[in-house]
Amino acid sequence: MISTASAEPVDAANDAVAHGADAAPAPRPRRRGLRRALLWGLLTALLAVAQTLLVLLALNYEATRAQDRSEAVAAAAAALTRQRLARGLQSLQALLWNEPTPAQWRNEATELLRAHRELLHIERRNAAFALEETLTSPYLASLFEAIPRAAMSIEAEFACNEARRGGAPAFSRSYFIPQPGGLGVESIDLCLPIASRPPL
């Protein structure tokens, strides 16, 4: 009787444990779904970062190429400008080589202005910087219509002072010459000192 009575509660307890063990793993599918969502979200974020980096690298590459092209164009323009300035300098030095008379100087300077469009104006001044002869390019006769040359000669005076001190041609800083109609020309002055020849 004692053994029979004690067996039933044990069986009931075993059944309860068994049922509890069967019911415990139910929440696992939710955890797996959450993990999958987190993994997909992380993968999407990584792909978005990678795409953003690729776009930024492509933009940086294009900007670098554009900068290289701009620098190449600027270098070519600077080389061409230096070449033209050197040609103009040689032509102006040849203009003074044989100590021409005023009439000869005017004729040769006129031909020089016609041959070199980059030369806009040629002046001949004495040691006191007083103007003796002046010619303007036939391609830009209105060069000093808006503002007279006398009011814009300060840069030329500085360049000539430097040329006298160094005994060599000197360039001025660039300056703007207004033109009729709201236009203008960016210009620089070149001063060549006239060296007197020693007597023979």
Q: Encode pLDDT of 11-43 as tens digits.
A: 444 444 444 444 445 555 667 778 888 888 899
Alpha helices (H) in the chain, listed in sequence order: 2-23, 28-95, 102-115, 154-166
Mean pLDDT of the chain: 81
Q: Which of 95, 127, 161 is the last residue of a domain?
A: 95
Q: Would the pLDDT of 142 be above 50?
A: yes
Mean pLDDT of 55-75: 90
Instruction: Please check whether residues 142 and 176 belong to one and the same domain.
Output: yes
Q: In this predicted structure, which of 95-99, 145-149, 156-160, 167-171 has the lowest mean pLDDT? A: 95-99
pLDDT greater at residue 9 or residue 56: 56
Instruction: Count how many domains the chain has.
Output: 2
Query: Do 60 and 136 belong together in one domain?
Result: no
The residues that bridge with 187 in the sheet, in sequence order, are 175
Closest to 125 in 3D by CA, of 87, 160, 173, 75: 160
In a domain, 11, yes or no: no
Do 142 and 174 sit in the same domain of this protein?
Answer: yes
Asked whether residue 146 falls in the same domain as residue 187, the answer is yes
Q: Which helix (H) or strand (E) holds 134?
A: strand 131-136
φ and ψ at 45, to 5 degrees?
-65, -40
Single residue among 95, 114, 134 that ends a domain in this structure: 95
* pLDDT at 119 > cutoff 80: yes
124 within a domain of the structure (yes/no)? yes
Find the domain containing 103 and state its range: 99-191
Domain-embedded: residue 25: no
88 and 117 share a domain? no
Q: Does a structural domain hold residue 18?
A: no
- Please give the pLDDT value at position 27: 52
User: Which of these ranges, 46-55, 79-88, 167-176, has the smallest mean pLDDT?
Assistant: 79-88
Is there a domain that residue 180 lies in? Answer: yes
Pair 74, 60 in one domain: yes
Q: What percent of the chain stands above pLDDT 90?
A: 31
pLDDT over threshold 70, residue 192: yes
Q: Do 178 and 103 lie in a common domain?
A: yes
Which of residues 65, 95, 125 is at a domain's end?
A: 95
Q: Quick check: is 30 in a domain? A: no
**What is the enclosing helix (H) or strand (E) of 187?**
strand 184-187
Residues 64 and 138 occupy one common structural domain: no
Q: Are residues 129 and 155 in the same domain?
A: yes
CB 185 within 8 A of CB 120: yes
Same domain, 127 and 186: yes
Alpha-carbon dihedral 80, 86, 89, 91, rounded to 10 degrees:
-90
Distance CA 16, CA 158 (A): 110
Residues 139 and 178 in one domain: yes
Say what the pLDDT of residue 21 is: 44
Establish if 17 belongs to a structural domain. no
pLDDT of residue 85: 79
The confidence score (pLDDT) of residue 1 equals 39
Residue 80: per-residue pLDDT: 85
* Residues 139, 60 share a domain: no
